[in-house]
Chains A and B, each alone.
Chain A
Amino acid sequence: MKKWHTFFHPVLVFVVAQIAWVSLVGLWIYWYVSNYIIFNKVGDKLSPQLVPKSANFFALVSGLVLLVAILVGLYLTFIYLNKQLEITKLYDNFIANVTHELKSPLASIQLYLETLTLHDVPPAKRNEFIHMMTMDANRLEKLIDSILDVTVLEKKKIAHNFHIYTADVVIKSILEETRENFRLPESALVISGSAPCPCVLDQNAIKIVFDNLVDNAIKYSFDPVQIAVNLSCSTKDIIVTFSDQGIGIPVKARKKVFRKFHRIYGKNIPSVKGTGLGLYWVREIIKYHGGKVTVSGKGQSKGSTFRIEIPIYQTSKRRYINQLLKLTRKREQQQDSENV
């Protein structure tokens, strides 16, 4: 079954179509040339006035144009088919992730409500159940927000408050906030290095990036979690690396993990919670900052290292960064005028 599936892979179909097309062109040229010669010979003997004085290239050219049109059509069909396939895959992933994430807290809330109705629960247990329900409700809210915010992210509205900071100071302060959010001890998130260079960023958006990276490190690490963050400056970029001691990401999946709704399942994966949106957010936000994010690792169970590069202000991607600052100023001015 799988073999047949591979046989009909879109790329393979496309390659076969290309070969068919090239053969068709060859056949067409061959047919035209050989027939032209025969027609010339025979026509000369039978009825010389039928044979044109010069070669009739019109038929040849129009045939070729027709074949090129077929090629373009094929190519477009291929592109749209591929896009459609990607959307279907994305939709399947979305349904699989979100179904689990929506239904589990819902099932838990329903269970507690029915338990409280059916049993005479002692007060201490009752409080524990209410606490559980509140946590589930919060989880549902967070999930719904993260799905709804994807549209905001895609319209590039998630990061809009760009300002110039000294990378060292701002990044360390955001990391500290993240550490407190996750209630991690200082030893669990160790910051080293320095990046005393200017950068332009949106603090809230970068906080989302750090939160997601730390959340992943916790989910995919064995206790106790150990995250090392290193800051440095290259000639053009500020480099922030996040290294954990978790299960690592297989080489094959390293690019895919940044895709929307992409998740890795398997017997080495210690957590199944999540929507598959976290690293997509990370990539999109960093991209919007003019930077890039990559992941590497030393192998299975040897941890992952996420490397974030953000341009140094006025050194790299000047025009793009200035545009971000300009947009922020414009938005602030608009807000000021609305307030007045």
Chain B
Amino acid sequence: MSKNEFKGSKILLVEDEDSLAVGLDYNLTEEGYKISWAKDGKQALDYFEKQEFDLILLDIMLPYYDGFQVSQKIREKSPQIPILMLTARTAPTDRVHGLESGADDYITKPFHLKELLLRIKGMLKRKEWYKKVTSASPVFKFGENEINFSNFQCRAGGHEFQLTQREAMVIKYLIDNEGKIVSRNDLLENVWNLSSDIETRTVDNFIVRLRKYFEPNPAQPVYIKSVRSVGYVFNSEEN
């Protein structure tokens, strides 16, 4: 394995299957991460309350609170922490549900170890990158919308809400490339840090959510427009 620049990052591993957790614990520790292992949803929330983590690796089918509930509860308190869902469920509804509950990404069981490690590294990298780019100018305004990238607080019209880290990263990437066409693959590679072999529907789901937040009429977007068969383009002014 290559040298890991994120050595020492704290990961909360939430997995009720002993055998899988022992293997994951070993591999992540070998990579230099510090692991806390929670065996159920209750314990996960308990650990999250008491300690600070850099990333959460979260199984869905858990005793007491399932992964969706854990993710939702964590998101209410910390919009920035990256959550990677580990799931045996592959149905599109489960994936959408996972992302809606606040997860930033998901990986399905059985998974390849190298891919899992790369995704974790990618998420930690994104977190760092995001911290850097938002520290200079945290607030961005367009139309009646205002996004504070340091705490993900948003205002659209009179309505205030919070973005997840991944949502903020997607809109940040679009804003940074204002006026240019951004393909789904660009987003996958730069926001998800993934090669484009995963389903592009993941990107589309995020765009649908962002439009719901910021567009006056999500069916006829004015800020985040689709470019047929290519991707999306962001314009901060209505035209």
- Tell me if A118 is interfacial: C-beta within 8 Å of chain B: yes
Binds B, one of A26-34, A152-160, A176-184, A268-276: A268-276
Partner of A105, one of B19, B69, B90: B19
CB–CB A115/B88 < 8 A: no
Shortest beta-carbon distance from A224 to chain B in Å: 17
- In angstroms, Cα B109 to Cα A332, docked, is 47
A118 touching B1 in the complex, CB below 8 Å, given contacts A111-B20, A272-B16:
yes
Q: State which size class the interface on A falls in.
A: 20 to 34
Chain A residue nearest to B88 (CB atoms) is A103
CB–CB A111/B88 < 8 A: no
CB–CB A104/B109 < 8 A: yes
CB–CB A108/B17 < 8 A: yes
Mask, B100-123, CB within 8 Å of A = 1, is 000000001111111000000000
- Tell me if B27 is interfacial: C-beta within 8 Å of chain A: yes
Shortest beta-carbon distance from B65 to chain A in Å: 5
Chain B residue nearest to A111 (CB atoms) is B23
Shortest beta-carbon distance from A109 to chain B in Å: 8
Give the residues from 48 to 66 in chain B that come closer than 8 angstroms, CB to CB, to chain A: 61-66
A270 touching B64 in the complex, CB below 8 Å, given contacts A104-B17, A107-B110:
yes
- Tell me if A119 is interfacial: C-beta within 8 Å of chain B: yes
- Tell me if A170 is interfacial: C-beta within 8 Å of chain B: no
A100 touching B113 in the complex, CB below 8 Å, given contacts A107-B20, A108-B23:
no
Shortest beta-carbon distance from A340 to chain B in Å: 49
- In angstroms, Cα B69 to Cα A114, docked, is 31
Determine the chain A residues whose CB is within 8 A of the CB of B64 once the complex forms: 267-270
Determine the chain A residues whose CB is within 8 A of the CB of B133 once the complex forms: none
- Tell me if B41 is interfacial: C-beta within 8 Å of chain A: yes
- Tell me if A64 is interfacial: C-beta within 8 Å of chain B: no
Determine the chain B residues whose CB is within 8 A of the CB of A110 once the complex forms: 110-113
CB–CB B19/A136 < 8 A: yes
Chain A residue nearest to B64 (CB atoms) is A267
Shortest beta-carbon distance from A164 to chain B in Å: 43
- In angstroms, Cα B66 to Cα A235, docked, is 47
A111 touching B27 in the complex, CB below 8 Å, given contacts A99-B88, A270-B40:
yes
Shortest beta-carbon distance from B110 to chain A in Å: 4
Chain B at the A interface: SS class: loop
CB–CB B69/A267 < 8 A: yes
Determine the chain A residues whose CB is within 8 A of the CB of B111 once the complex forms: 107, 110-111
- Tell me if A112 is interfacial: C-beta within 8 Å of chain B: yes
Partner of B22, one of A104, A114, A118, A132: A132
CB–CB B113/A111 < 8 A: yes
Chain B residue nearest to A132 (CB atoms) is B19
- Tell me if B24 is interfacial: C-beta within 8 Å of chain A: yes
Determine the chain A residues whose CB is within 8 A of the CB of B23 once the complex forms: 108, 111-112, 115, 129, 132
CB–CB A271/B63 < 8 A: yes
Q: State which size class the interface on B falls in.
A: 20 to 34
Determine the chain B residues whose CB is within 8 A of the CB of A135 once the complex forms: 19
Give the residues from 108 to 154 in chain A that come closer than 8 angstroms, CB to CB, to chain B: 108-112, 114-115, 118-119, 125, 128-129, 132-133, 135-136
Chain A residue nearest to B89 (CB atoms) is A99
Determine the chain B residues whose CB is within 8 A of the CB of A268 once the complex forms: 64
Determine the chain A residues whose CB is within 8 A of the CB of B66 once the complex forms: 265, 272
Partner of A103, one of B19, B22, B109: B109
- In angstroms, Cα B113 to Cα A107, docked, is 10
- In angstroms, Cα B69 to Cα A37, docked, is 70
- Tell me if B26 is interfacial: C-beta within 8 Å of chain A: yes
A104 touching B27 in the complex, CB below 8 Å, given contacts A99-B88, A99-B89, A269-B64:
no
Mask, B2-25, CB within 8 Å of A = 1, is 000000000000001111101110
**Chain A residues at the B interface, C-beta cutoff of 8 Å:** 96, 99-100, 102-112, 114-115, 118-119, 125, 128-129, 132-133, 135-136, 265, 267-273
Q: What are 22 A-B interface contacts by the 8 Å CB criterion?
A: A99-B89, A103-B108, A104-B17, A104-B20, A104-B88, A105-B19, A107-B20, A108-B19, A110-B112, A111-B20, A111-B24, A111-B111, A115-B27, A119-B27, A132-B23, A265-B66, A268-B64, A269-B63, A270-B40, A271-B63, A272-B16, A272-B63
**Chain B residues at the A interface, C-beta cutoff of 8 Å:** 1, 16-20, 22-24, 26-27, 30, 40-41, 61-66, 69, 88-90, 108-114
Other A-B pairs, 11, CB within 8 Å; known A103-B110, A111-B27: A104-B20, A104-B109, A107-B20, A107-B111, A108-B17, A118-B113, A132-B22, A133-B19, A135-B19, A270-B64, A272-B66
